[in-house]
Amino acid sequence: MRKVSLVQPDLSGNEYRYLAECVDTGWVSSKGKFIHLFENQFAQFIGTKSAVSTSSGTAALHLALVALGLSSNDEVLVPDLTFVATANAVAYTGAKPVLVDVDRNSWNIAPEHILEKITPHTKAVIVVHLYGNPVDMTSISRIAKKYGLYVIEDAAEAHGAQYRNKTVGSLGDIGCFSFYGNKIITTGEGGMITTNSKRIADKVRFLRDHAMDKTRSYYHPCIGFNYRMTNLQAAIGLAQLERIDSFISKKLSIAAKYDQLLHRLDSLIELPPRASGLKNVFWMYSVVLKRKKLRDKLRQHLAKNGIESRPFFVPLHQMPMYKELNTYPNSNYLSKNGISLPSSIFLTDSDIEYVSKTIRSFASSYA
């Protein structure tokens, strides 16, 4: 049977050569030239003054929150529809994640619902550029300024996405990225914090390395973390970053091909969100089934034909640790009906045509 994978990393650039240099020189841990090169060049790509590498995207979120001083009695607004790490990172600090419904059209946190959830305890809002689609940052920034809130961008899925010609990760106080194996660029595991604040960058670096005093070896004035990236990971990351423009170009090409082949199914399928002034990088090409209880049937149909897919995230309010009786209609609707299609940069036009043909054959049963 023909197999079409959801995502795959492309490690065919300088990854092997840079890794070999790490091994040959012995610099395989959390010191070495590739860490600084990767951080500096990633900051240039995002357009921020600083970038600080971390051991994962979740570690980046946690460090960002600690560096901003979040603790118990504080509240942080997070979208209900996101990967669970967004809320977990808040809980790690002792602060309370306050769930906010998403916008039905953009799939991202809804500004009007943010206003409903702000209290005197609210200290920050985490915006998630879901599946590579940028958040409406103008509205978010306006609200944050009015209420004195920090803005943290969870850009784990949105490397290179842009809002009004500015790259995500440069639009809030702090940007957080993931380099997990299925992301647009990968280091296997790993993450990055981006910021224009020297104070925040210095605090993050301090906390990332066990909070060790710079002037007194093995003296730690507060609780820190071992959230460092290795030189091996950074070597892979640098090689990946050298080709990120081509990776994003391929993602856009895949999305355009899907659009061309699926747009006639608009009675059944809602294509990914797009808006003027935004650059969606389509980390995953995701669609929403307009008729209830069809999503899982479509996934089964795809699987029978050797095509991988995955459902949208389960809303946070349905998780035992964040469970609420409140309803989040947009989040619920998208979660129940959303599906991500194969989006690997190795996809050929023939693969996309095969996936689309398989979807059309499914759709014909429900015409």
Length of the chain, in residues = 367
> What pLDDT shows up at residue 1?
78
Dist. CA 99–CA 243, nearest whole Å:
36
- The tokens for 259 are 């659009």
> What pLDDT shows up at residue 326?
81
Closest by CA to 126, choosing from 194, 173, 185, 164, is: 173
pLDDT tens-digit map of 254-265: 999 999 999 999
Fold annotation for 244-366? Aspartate Aminotransferase, domain 1 (3.90.1150)
Which residues pair with residue 52 across a beta bridge? 193
With cut-offs at 50, 70 and 90, classify the pLDDT of residue 338. very high
With cut-offs at 50, 70 and 90, classify the pLDDT of residue 325. confident
Task: Evaluate whether the domain defined by 15-241 bears CATH number 3.40.640.10.
Answer: yes
With cut-offs at 50, 70 and 90, classify the pLDDT of residue 83. very high
* Cβ–Cβ < 8 Å for 272, 255: yes
Share of the chain above pLDDT 90, in %: 98
Question: What does the pLDDT average to over 148-167?
Answer: 98
> What pLDDT shows up at residue 149?
98
Helical residues (DSSP H) of 231-340, grouped into ranges = 231-241, 244-262, 295-304, 329-337
pLDDT tens-digit map of 164-194: 999 999 999 999 999 999 999 999 999 999 9
pLDDT tens-digit map of 344-356: 999 999 999 999 9
Strand order in the sheet with 50-54: 50-54, 191-195, 174-178, 150-154, 122-128, 75-79, 96-100
Share of the chain above pLDDT 70, in %: 100
Beta strand residue intervals within 101-141, DSSP E:
122-128
Question: What does the pLDDT average to over 21-27?
Answer: 97
Give the up-direction half-sphere exposure of residue 102: CA atoms within 13 A in the CB hemisphere.
Answer: 28
pLDDT tens-digit map of 95-113: 999 999 999 999 999 999 9
Question: Where do you find CATH 3.40.640.10 in the chain?
Answer: 15-241
Give the number of other Cβ atoms within 10 Å of residue 137's Cβ. Answer: 23
* Cβ–Cβ < 8 Å for 65, 114: no
* Cβ–Cβ < 8 Å for 173, 68: yes
Closest by CA to 347, choosing from 247, 241, 274, is: 247
- Classify residue 112 by burial, with Cβ atoms within 10 Å: 0-12, 13-18, 19+: exposed
Question: Where do you find CATH 3.90.1150.10 in the chain?
Answer: 244-366
pLDDT tens-digit map of 195-211: 999 999 999 999 999 99
- Say if residue 367's pLDDT is above 80: no
Give the number of other Cβ atoms within 10 Å of residue 197's Cβ. Answer: 16
With cut-offs at 50, 70 and 90, classify the pLDDT of residue 148. very high
Question: What does the pLDDT average to over 61-80?
Answer: 97
Q: Which amino acid is at 26?
A: G
* Cβ–Cβ < 8 Å for 220, 212: yes
